[in-house]
């Protein structure tokens, strides 16, 4: 199993400093990569009649602007980017944002995690993240790397996420996957959760 490059690394500090300095969520939210993700998530929303989404790691909010969903709850470890998203979506009454320590989770049609799980490098946070992702929704949608691989960045840890999920025995089953033709190392994985997953 891969281990964090820097055991003292704090993801919340890294991302809040990045966003507070005016940074964004990175290239994966833009161009053909962002377009591919938006198109796939939109297709899932329409096919499964998703009305409410909780997004674990909303980042700068650019990926969700066009999603046809009634209720969206964006969460992030960075208070700075949460404030930015609140301002950006002030005219969307069904959209709200919170920093993760302040989040009040209910039950949602779908939990979503796009380009986030490999950034959750701290072991305790990784465990908590997976429990939240499977514990509050009917469906869970991940966009993640397809296999473990080395990384030279302290904020990235490419685990074998599918094996990690299976080992934990969540009450869920994988019902769909879609590889990104523009970046074959990445795919969408859609899970259908059982009520006992909470």
Q: Read off the pLDDT of residues 32-88 as tens digits, 9 standing for 90 and up.
A: 999 999 999 999 999 999 999 999 999 999 989 889 999 999 999 999 999 999 999
Whether the per-residue pLDDT at 1 is higher than 60: the answer is: no
- pLDDT tens-digit series, residues 167-197: 999 999 999 999 999 999 999 999 999 875 3
Tell me if 148 sits within 8 A of 159, measured CB to CB: yes
Residues with Cβ within 8 Å of residue 109, at least 6 apart in sequence: 48, 49, 50, 51, 52, 53, 137, 138, 139
Sign of the Cα pseudo-torsion (194, 171, 63, 144, in order): negative
Q: Candidates 3.40.50.970, 3.30.413.10, 3.40.50.150, 3.80.30.20; correct CATH number of 29-197?
A: 3.40.50.150
Global pTM reads: 0.92
Domain boundary assignment for the chain: 29-197
- Helix axes of 11-20 and 79-88: crossing angle, nearest 10 degrees: 50
pLDDT tens digits for 107-141? 999 999 999 999 999 999 999 999 999 999 999 99
CA-based max dimension of the chain:
44
Name the H helices within the chain.
Answer: 11-20, 31-47, 79-88, 123-135, 161-167
């Amino acid at each position: 199993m891969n281990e964090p490059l820097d055991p003292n690394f704090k993801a919340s500090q890294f991302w809040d400093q990045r966003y507070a300095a005016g940074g964004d969520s990175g290239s994966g939210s833009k161009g053909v990569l962002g377009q591919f993700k938006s198109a796939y998530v939109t297709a899932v929303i329409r096919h499964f009649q998703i009305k409410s989404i909780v997004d674990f790691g909303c980042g700068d909010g650019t990926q969700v602007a066009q999603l046809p969903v009634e209720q969206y709850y964006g969460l992030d470890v960075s208070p700075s980017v949460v404030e930015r998203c609140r301002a950006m979506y002030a005219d969307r009454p069904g959209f709200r944002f919170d920093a993760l320590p302040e989040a009040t989770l209910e039950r949602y049609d779908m939990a979503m995690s796009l380009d986030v799980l490999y950034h959750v490098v701290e072991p305790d946070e990784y465990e908590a993240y997976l429990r939240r992702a499977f514990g509050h929704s009917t469906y869970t949608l991940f966009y993640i790397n397809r296999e473990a691989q080395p990384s030279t960045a302290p904020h990235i840890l490419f685990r074998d996420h599918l094996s990690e999920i299976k080992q934990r025995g969540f009450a869920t089953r994988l019902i769909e996957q879609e590889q990104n033709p523009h970046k074959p190392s990445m795919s969408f994985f859609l899970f259908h959760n059982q009520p006992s997953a909470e």
